[in-house]
Amino acid sequence: MLKFPKAFPMGAATAFAVLFTLSTPVLAAEGAGKSGIERPEGGYGLGREALPEEIDAWDIDIRPDGTGLPEGRGTVAEGEVLFTDNCAMCHGDFGEGVGRWPVLAGGQDTLTNERPEKTIGSYWPFLSTVYDYVRRAMPFGNAKSLTNDNVYAITAYLLYLNDIVTDEDFELSKANFTDIHLPNEANFIDDDRYEEPHWKADAAPCMTDCKPDPVKVTMRARILDVTPDGEGDAIE
Amino acid sequence: MKKEDDMAKQDTSRPARAAGAPDPSRRSLLRGTLAAGGAVAAGLMAGRARAAAPVTSVTPDPLITEVQDWNRYLGGGVDTAPYGLPSEFEADVVRRNVAWLTADTTSSINFTPLHALDGIITPNGVCFERHHGGAAEIDPAQHRLMIHGLVDKPLVFTMADLMRFPRVNRVFFLECAANSGMEWRGSQLNGCQFTHGMIHNVMYTGVPLRLLLEEAGVKPSGKWILAEGADASGMTRSIPLEKALDDCLVAFKMNGEALRAEQGYPVRLVVPGWEGNMWVKWLRRLEVGDKPWQQREETSKYTDLLPTGKARRFTWMMDVKSVITNPSPQAPLSHGKGRTVVTGLAWSGAGTIKRVDVTLDGGRNWHAARIDGPSLDKSLHRFYYEFDWDGSELLLQSRAMDEMGYVQPTKNALRTSRGENSIYHNNGIQTWRVQADGVTENVEVS
C-alpha cells in the first residue's frame, strides 16, 4: 500500500510560496523546467534594443493606480453617442446585453443570488480594467480604432449606466480617474482553495464499502437535453 | 431501421475527398456496403464508436473468404496527400462547438474529442480552441516579441532571433479553467468531449522564458510580468515573476511541427500546470512590473465567485482531476458482457499522478487502475482498468491522486465549499451510468 503525504493546508498568503517549494524537487529530479542550460557570460547577444517609440506604441496597459493612463478626457454625454454607434449592437443601448453578448450594467446586489449578474457595476473591481480593455479590444472586430478621448468618454458613460456617476456632464480624465472606485472592489480575496475541508481529508481514501447503501442516480444529463449535434440521439 | 438510417446519414455528411485525389474504389465500396447494411457496415464504422456485435455465426466471414476491393485495386499514391489527414473512417473525430455557450464563434471555445483518443498526446488538429477575437493568422516574418518595463535593456526579438536561443522539449497539459464549468449545477452535457474536452496535451519546443528575461535583465523591483497577444483581443494576463523564471516556455512548436494558427502561431507562452487562459497565444509583448495589472481576464473573468459574494482571484493552478473517456456517452459499451477495457485520463497542475482508482458501483468500492505510458510532470496520464462485465448497470467513476497527496474531490464536496457559481476549477469526480444495453449517460449519484 502506497503512502502519500497528507494534503498541505495552504493559507492564502502562503499558497504560492508553498507551491514553489513543493515543485522544486520534482523539477530537479526530472531536469524539467530547470533545463541545465548555462547562460554564457555576457548573454546571447540576440535581439536588439527596443526604441522608445516602439514601446510607446505597444505599452497600452493601465493599472488600478493609474499607471499607463494617457492624457485625455471625455464626458458621459459624448460617451453615449459613441456607445450607441460602436457598442450598443452587442451590449444594448443601456448595457443590458444583446443575445449572449456581455451585460455591462446593472446586477448590483445579485452576487449571492442563484443567478448572479456580473457587470462592471456589480462585479468588476477596478475602473482601470474598463479603460484598458475598451482601448485594446473594442469595438469587437475593429479593435484599437478609438481615440484616447473616445475611451475616456465611453468609460464615463459606462459609469453612468451603472449609476456610479449620475451627472450627464460628468467628465472623466486622467486627472480624476483614480478618484473613482467600483463598488465591488473589496470583495476579491486571494486564493484560499486549499483551506477547504475536502483537501484536508485523509490522502489514503476509502477503497471498500465506502457508502452504506447502493448508490442511486440523482440527476441525469439526458433530462436537460442540451448536448449539441444530436450526440444524445446517436447513441440510442 | 434507425441504426442503419443513422449510418447512412453519417456517410453523406462526410466531407468529400480532397480535390485532385483519385476517386478510390473503396469509396464506392463503402456506399454499397452501407446500403446493404448489417454487420459489415457496422465494422466499417468502427470510428463511430459503434462497434459491431461479436461475430458468432458459424458461416464463413466474406471479409475473409472473398477478395476485397482494397485487396485488389491500387490505393492512392504518395502525392495524394502532401499533408496527411486521418482516414475517412475517422471523420467523426473532430472538435465540436457548443453553440449555446457563447454569442459568436469568434469569441468562443470548442472541445477536444477525448472519447476517440488514446495514449497521452493530443493530435494537433483536435486540440481544443479558445480565443477571444478569432484565430489570428500572422506571418512569422512580421511577428515581433518585445520585452520591456523593469528591465536593464528593453529588447525586440524576431522569430529568427528566438530560434537562436537554446531550446527545450516538454510535454504539458493545457486545461481551460472553465473545463467542466457547465457541470457545477449538475450533470448537463452528454459526452466527455463536452464535460472535459477543454484540455489538450502536447510536446512543446521552445525557449525557457527565463533565458529571454535574463537577456533583458530583470531589475530587482520586478515581481510580475504581463504577457500580451498580438490578436484582435490583445489578450493579457499578469504572471508572477517566480513562475516566469521557473518553468514557463516561449514555444513555437507543438508535437514537432509549428504551432497551429489557433494555438498561437508563430509563438505562444507555456505556463505549466496553470489555467489555460494564461498561456497567451500570438505572444508579442512581455512587460516586467512590480504589481499585477488587474486585466479583464483576471478580474471580471477567471475569478471564482463564492456563496458569500466574495470572489477568489489569481486562482492559477489546475487541481488534480481525472475522467473516464471510454466508455462515455459518445462511446457506449456496445460489445455486451465479457472482457471490457475502461480507460481515461488523469492530470494535476501540482506534478505527476501517482494513482487512479476506478469504481463500477458509484463509489462504494474502488479498484486501482493501471497507469500506462510516460508519467510526466504536469502532463496527462493514461489509465486503464480491465474487467469482466456481467452486463448489469455500471456507475463508473475515476478518482486521481497526485504526487503531492491531493485527492480528486467529489462534485458535492466542491459545491459545499464553493456553491454553484464559481464557474472555474471544477475538478470533481465524474459519473457515467452504463445501462445493460451499453448506452452511457452523464449522471450524478447519491
CA distance B366 to B355: 12
| Predicted pLDDT of residue B340 | 98
The yes-or-no verdict on residue A27 having pLDDT over 80 is: no
The yes-or-no verdict on residue A28 having pLDDT over 80 is: no
**End-to-end alpha carbon distance in chain B:** 37
Q: Which has the higher per-residue pLDDT, A5 or B429?
A: B429
The yes-or-no verdict on residue A219 having pLDDT over 70 is: yes
> Is the residue at A39 inside a domain?
no
CA distance A152 to A132: 10
Mutate to test the interface with A, among B267, B310, B334, B357 (most CBs of A within 10 A): B310
> Is the residue at A144 inside a domain?
yes
The yes-or-no verdict on residue B185 having pLDDT over 60 is: yes
Chain B residues whose CB is inside 8 A of the A14 CB are: none
Contacts of B61 (CB under 8 A, 6+ apart): B55
CA distance A149 to B61: 77
Q: Which of residues 386-445 of B touch A (CB under 8 A)?
A: 395, 399, 401, 403-407, 409-410, 413-414, 416-418, 421, 425, 433, 439-445
CA-nearest of B386, B418, B144, B206 to B306 is B418
CA distance A105 to A86: 16
Mean pLDDT of B240-251: 98
CA distance A44 to A82: 48
Q: How many structural domains does chain A have?
A: 1
CA distance B78 to B23: 15
CA distance B344 to B120: 10
- β-strands B283-289, B144-149: how paired? parallel
| Predicted pLDDT of residue A202 | 60
Q: Which of residues 17-76 of B touch A (CB under 8 A)?
A: none
> Is the residue at A110 inside a domain?
yes
Q: Which of residues 148-177 of A touch B (CB under 8 A)?
A: none
DSSP B297-317: GGTTSS-EE-TTS-EE----B
The CATH number of the domain where A92 resides is what? 1.10.760.10
The yes-or-no verdict on residue B107 having pLDDT over 60 is: yes
Q: Is residue A159 within 8 Å of residue A170, measured between CB atoms?
A: yes
HEC string of B346-413 equals EEECCECEEEEEEECECCCCEEECEEECCCCCCCCEEEEEEEEECCCCEEEEEEEEECCCCECCCHHH
Nearest CA in chain A to B209: A33
Mean pLDDT of B195-219: 98
CA-nearest of B47, B32, B262, B189 to A221 is B189
CA-nearest of B269, B259, B198 to B229 is B269
The yes-or-no verdict on residue B43 having pLDDT over 80 is: no
Percentage above 90 pLDDT, chain B: 85
Chain B residues whose CB is inside 8 A of the A219 CB are: 186-187, 443-444
pLDDT-derived band of residue B111, with 50, 70 and 90 as boundaries?
A: very high
**Backbone dihedral region of A26: left (phi > 0), alpha (psi from -120 to 50 degrees) or beta?**
alpha
pLDDT-derived band of residue B53, with 50, 70 and 90 as boundaries?
A: low
| Predicted pLDDT of residue B56 | 62
pLDDT in tens, A56-99: 999 999 999 999 999 999 999 999 999 999 999 999 999 999 99
| Predicted pLDDT of residue A24 | 39
> Is the residue at A227 inside a domain?
no
Burial class (CB in 10 A: 0-12, 13-18, 19+), B57: exposed
Percentage above 90 pLDDT, chain A: 73
| Predicted pLDDT of residue B402 | 95
pLDDT-derived band of residue B57, with 50, 70 and 90 as boundaries?
A: low
CA-nearest of B276, B272, B280, B246 to B378 is B272
Distance from CA of B227 to the nearest CA of A (A): 11
CA-nearest of A2, A5, A3, A27 to A199 is A5
Provide the ipTM: 0.85
pLDDT in tens, B275-302: 999 999 999 999 999 999 999 999 999 9
Instruction: Write out the three cell numbers for A198.
Output: 475536502
| Predicted pLDDT of residue A226 | 78
pLDDT-derived band of residue B430, with 50, 70 and 90 as boundaries?
A: very high
| Predicted pLDDT of residue B58 | 86
Cβ pair A234:B215 closer than 8 A: no
CA-nearest of B329, B14, B336 to B196 is B329
Kindly report which listed range (B6-20, B51-65, B213-227) carries the lowest average pLDDT score.
B6-20
pLDDT in tens, A93-120: 999 999 999 999 999 999 999 999 999 9
Write out the residue range of the structural domain in which residue A152 sits.
61-187
pLDDT-derived band of residue A22, with 50, 70 and 90 as boundaries?
A: very low
Integer-rounded Cα Rg, in Å, for chain A is: 26
| Predicted pLDDT of residue B126 | 98
> Is the residue at A37 inside a domain?
no
Q: Is A136 touching B (CB cutoff 8 A)?
A: yes
Q: Is residue A207 within 8 Å of residue B399, measured between CB atoms?
A: no
> Is the residue at A176 inside a domain?
yes
pLDDT-derived band of residue B264, with 50, 70 and 90 as boundaries?
A: very high
> Is the residue at A230 inside a domain?
no
DSSP classification of residue B111: E
pLDDT-derived band of residue A200, with 50, 70 and 90 as boundaries?
A: confident
Domains parsed from chain B with CATH numbers: 2-90 (no CATH), 99-312 (3.90.420.10), 321-443 (2.60.40.650)
H or E segment to which residue A49 belongs: strand A48-49
CA distance B88 to B95: 16
Percentage above 70 pLDDT, chain B: 87
